[in-house]
Amino acid sequence: MAEFDLQDFLPYLLNQAAETTSREFAAYYRDRYGLLRTDWRVLFHLGRYGGMNAAAIAARAMIHKTKISRSVAKLTAKGFVAAAGDADDRRRVGLSLTARGRAAFDDLAERARGYDAALLRGLPPGEARALKAVLRRLAGPSGADGGRSDP
């Protein structure tokens, strides 16, 4: 490594790659369904894993509960998500997709899969898997050293 460049700095590279690769897909769910990033993630979790409450989404998706609260309100207003009271603990709200939400999820999940494949086109399958494994490690609860807690 001769001279250290911004193009050699992993956080910068990751940020640029994340921005570039997100742009087109984000434009799709925005233009087609009026969703923002958190909305799409919440919708995805409910579609992929079935009904759950806000805390469960928060734990699975690493999204703060305040963001989930706002996304759920929006998704409910759009008719994508239905809320049901929990008889055992009335603080909890069971969330699930409506038929319309399910249709949006089916469309978006299929497109996400195709979009992902297109991004990785040209990489041997083994390298693609290795890349994702490294990214999962980097995305884990630590920076260059110690742990971090969800604020």
Partner DNA sequence: TATTGTTATACTCTATAACTATA
Partner DNA sequence: TATAGTTATAGAGTATAACAATA
| 139 forms part of the interface with DNA (CB under 7 A) | no
Q: Which of residues 9-38 bind a second copy (CB under 8 A)?
A: 9-25
Q: Under 8 Å CB-to-CB from 96, ≥6 apart: which residues? A: 46, 50, 51, 81, 82, 84
The answer to whether 2 contacts a second copy (rule: CB under 8 A) is no
Q: By CB under 7 A, what part of segment 45-64 binds DNA?
A: 53-55, 64
Candidate ranges 32-40, 112-120, 126-134, 136-144; the one touching DNA (CB under 7 A): 32-40
> Quick one: DSSP state of residue 8?
G
Residues that bind DNA (CB under 7 A): 15, 19, 23, 26, 30, 36-38, 53-55, 64-70, 72-73, 88-93, 151
